Amino acid sequence: MAKDERDRLRGAIDGLGRAPGHHGADPAPTPAPGPAEAGPATMHKGAVVVATLLVEGEDPPAHDFAAAATAAARAMLAAGLAAGVTPLAITIRDVAVDDDSPDRDA
């Protein structure tokens, strides 16, 4: 191979790692991340969602309606979880009666 062919080939090889208009004295710019380098497609997230339910029904005057309402709410939530209505993982942390709610109708 002739010297001028080697020099031309060497120049072409050296230019492969450089951006257009790039000079040899400066470091080559870092390319923008491609789709494979952009990061994970998903990540684990969580949120505490507070739902207020008004549970009503007929009950004897001396019966503890708070216990019956709490049991009804737990049963409804458990049935919804068992039915698999969402692909998200849901954990029931607490079901309690709020007798002091400011939203309650007077």
Question: How many angstroms separate the CA atoms of 20 and 32, rounded?
Answer: 15
Q: How confident is the model at residue 32 (pLDDT cuts 50, 70, 90)?
A: low
Using CB atoms within 10 A of its CB, is residue 72 exposed (0-12), middle (13-18) or buried (19+)?
middle
More confident residue, 25 or 13: 13
Of 76, 57, 68, the closest CA to residue 97 belongs to 68
Over residues 91-95, mean pLDDT: 90
Statement: the pTM of the whole predicted model exceeds 0.75: no
| Residue pair 73/94 in contact by the 8 Å Cβ criterion | no
Q: How confident is the model at residue 39 (pLDDT cuts 50, 70, 90)?
A: confident
Q: Where in the chain are the domains?
A: 40-100
